Amino acid sequence: MEAIECIKTRMSIRKFRHDPVSKNILTEIINTAQWSPSYKNSQTWEVVIVSGKKKEELSNLLVRLLEEGKTPEPDIPEALSWPPDIEERINEHMKKRGALLGVDLNSPEIKKKSKAANFRFYGAPHGIFLFHDSVLNEWSIFNAGLFAQSLMLAAHAHGLGAVPQAFLTDYSREVKQFLGIPDSKRLVLGISIGYPDTENAINTYRTTRVETDKILRWVE
């Protein structure tokens, strides 16, 4: 797939087929993402892929914590406020996606169901977790973002779908314990990956982008 087409046609997939992806393809995707740029070529990312029975056990754990009302403690705190123009953009997105599904995505009940769907990896056969050492500063979060984008583009080029998920970091301590990751690591992001369920309505939703002249300024 041509690079520009790959970037423009990639989308977040929120419903997957159950067919597993071969380890060879997943390894090739990670190999490709390893060519992402990083600050001073530090390559700070670390990757865990969970599948099969272990993925189901992890899902059950996360859903149980949600049902018990455990307070989320992500390693990277959730944003609590946004500048007005960005908040308006987010609200418009949530309104449109909610209209497609026929629900109010801001209602507490729907938010809880949305989290549970995240913890079930949207039905994907594989979950990917990105970590790095917790002593690293903000530049390493930037590195992880570049790696995640490369990973999702490589997945798209292979005919797969993926979605980055902040909610999968809500119970970071428990995720690390389950996966055998030391507390000295920071859980940066979770990603569901697999073959998209193209017949599901949620995968027909496409986000918009602001006009380029609103985010670009020339100085000459």
Q: How far is CA 142 from the centre of its chain?
A: 15
pLDDT over 90, % of the chain = 87
Range of the domain at 165: 10-78+119-208
pLDDT given at position 158: 97
Structure-block tokens of residue 19:
């067919």
Answer whether residue 90 is part of any domain. no
Answer whether residue 108 is part of any domain. no
pLDDT given at position 30: 98
What CATH number corresponds to the domain at position 156? 3.40.109.10
pLDDT given at position 51: 98
Diameter of the chain by CA atoms?
58
Answer whether residue 86 is part of any domain. no
- What is the Cα–Cα distance from 172 to 178, expressed in whole angstroms? 10
Across the chain, mean pLDDT equals 95
Residue 39 buriedness (CB in 10 A; 0-12 / 13-18 / 19+): middle
Mean of the pLDDT values across residues 174-191? 98
pLDDT bucket at 102, cuts 50 / 70 / 90: confident
pLDDT bucket at 153, cuts 50 / 70 / 90: very high
pLDDT bucket at 164, cuts 50 / 70 / 90: very high
Where do runs of H (alpha helix) occur along the chain?
A: 3-9, 23-33, 52-67, 84-101, 108-119, 138-157, 172-179
Answer whether residue 56 is part of any domain. yes
pLDDT given at position 211: 95
15-19, 135-139, 163-167, 177-181: the lowest-pLDDT one:
135-139
Residue 101 has pLDDT above 90, yes or no: no
pLDDT given at position 2: 93
pLDDT given at position 138: 87
Answer whether residue 139 is part of any domain. yes
Residue 122 has pLDDT above 90, yes or no: yes
Answer whether residue 97 is part of any domain. no
Q: Is 172 helix (H, G, I), strand (E, B) or coil?
A: helix
pLDDT given at position 100: 83
Answer whether residue 157 is part of any domain. yes
Is residue 93 within 8 Å of residue 207, measured between CB atoms? yes
Structure-block tokens of residue 175:
């995720």
For residue range 24-67, list pLDDT tens digits in order. 999 999 999 999 999 999 999 999 999 999 999 999 999 999 99
pLDDT given at position 132: 98
Answer whether residue 196 is part of any domain. yes
Could you give the number of structural domains in the chain? 1
For residue range 73-88, list pLDDT tens digits in order. 999 999 889 999 999 9
